[in-house]
Structure 1
């Protein structure tokens, strides 16, 4: 049976890989900070959040988004001078507006600890939820629930970090075709002070493409570097008897059940020489970065529990050879309910804020989602949100006139 902690209480942790799951009824930005005995981060690599999803040694990583996020922590692999790992979140809203926040600590699929942050009457916009800390050679977990009325600045000062008021111009060479959604950018987690006055080494901005703000243009450059497209989603872990029967957590498990959903990301590529090709795990069409089509699919995640989700890489050095990259995802296994997947696709390009879009609008019996396309516009990259849903590959192909011949296949 799992143990429930009240604020201020602690409990032992297994000396193993654990996951800390944070559940909210509204959007929050979660962050983890690895701290030395003086309570300070050592540098950029000790902050883990949506813009930097793993620590410098990959022993702490973040997956999920918004209202359902996971921190995967390899406790035995933590550096000797890391004394604790603080878990926090910030939001544009007060805690009272956000509502109660639930926390689970899992070892594998088993919930070992639960906590609930009561939001009633609380006006803070930044909260230290909990911490994993060393004690006499072992690891323990403490539920803290400490808030800061001033928001991000007091939180960052608590950890010995600073927040850049705005990213410098050279870190955001993006020209929006339509007004951008700045809601998610207004309260990012703090950035470590690296004593670099001209350019922060961690870009905290995030751009969310929506129906009303559906495209953005990345200014032309000679070399875009490696562009990475991430598909992440939350497969609900099968916790059987460990699942809570009441409250927010219980409701979520009743709604989603224990069965998993397997999402696959893929791309159709149109090269400047007229060639068209397909990249996806189905049929083992993984592509290539160094030769045409200059797009490559990394390993296929069949569970949704891998910390990084699924990734497509695009060779930005060869962008001049590419006319368009059309990104899609489909539900390979599980009920075609996009709202249950909590799917999010994020495009990462060097020296650019992450560009994300959420896959939550699809209707039932529509397992295919056309997500976005990256179009070469005289050397620039125009990123256009699509988010249209179809019964399958053939219907999507026909809607966008790609002209492929399709047949059934399996992985």
Structure 2
């Protein structure tokens, strides 16, 4: 049994890249990231110190076995695929992509769906022009580690004026606690294109108790003028996994991004989801839910940065906290000087189900322009007893009444998942977490 990597630098990052026969530019790029990783400090999320988190188990390269059809996928992976798998699908198993499906019709239209590792060779310029240009490798130590070690990953390119009817699906799965599991999703949506993308991150670490798997992931979306990208993600991994997810979207004129995020992970969680509205008339809509149980520690940050005139952002985060879980929920709206007529709104709501749980909602507005609109709302509270009493007066038990209220509290996000099968799966995950 090999020992997971806990430290590395320039030479180790370059050696890994050469072992995978990556292009010279990517080897050099990883070298630089490896050196940064040995120097930079961990990020410092608001009110959530990371010093006690296990963030130095980087794993070793453990590629999965490539398959030609879904019938050949491992049973644990096949069981996670929603029934409505029309259109395109890509699957990562531990450290590599093992399956990709894209219809001939989409290929003829110029759509590209492949692993990011393959795209670095076959679509070199597109990758070089966009990879970690918004989530930069020198932001902090975790970003540098990701840049040096990302593996498998997803590259999606949607050409100008192409409207993809069915959601693109990605399943990112690990069942080896010693594997490097650091996928990077890179989406480039060209002018006036439309696409929905659904990401599912899951693990199955039966019999590997006591080991920590670091899921250090990133998403970058580049929506060109008039493009519309809908990105849905559901994370439900084992308690022995630390989930780190940095998500970024950059919007050109009249572009739109929708984030629909279910952070339902069972272990410690650090997520940061940000839209950068560079273009005039660009819009961003972010909906995020989370459920904390046990002794989980979660830092959930949602942000929007306005540069474009008449740009609009709306952020809604809803969290349910049980037992001794802690969640720090940050909403940050930044309106830069010159972003006249911008409108930034945010809402954070936390529902407390235990006196020992903790939930902090921190709305932040940073305004450098006068002719704008901005607002925020935040609340932390328990289940409304009047609502429980009303349902009980109609013959519903107290437990069922609370369950219905909680599901109603989370439904504004759950109902937006663009795949019926995944919505049903999300309901099952919620049932398990809420008990």
Same fold, TM-score > 0.5, yes or no = no
The higher relative CO (CA closer than 8 Å, separation ≥ 6) is in 1
TM-score, structure 2 as length reference = 0.25
Which has more helix, going by share of residues? Answer: 2
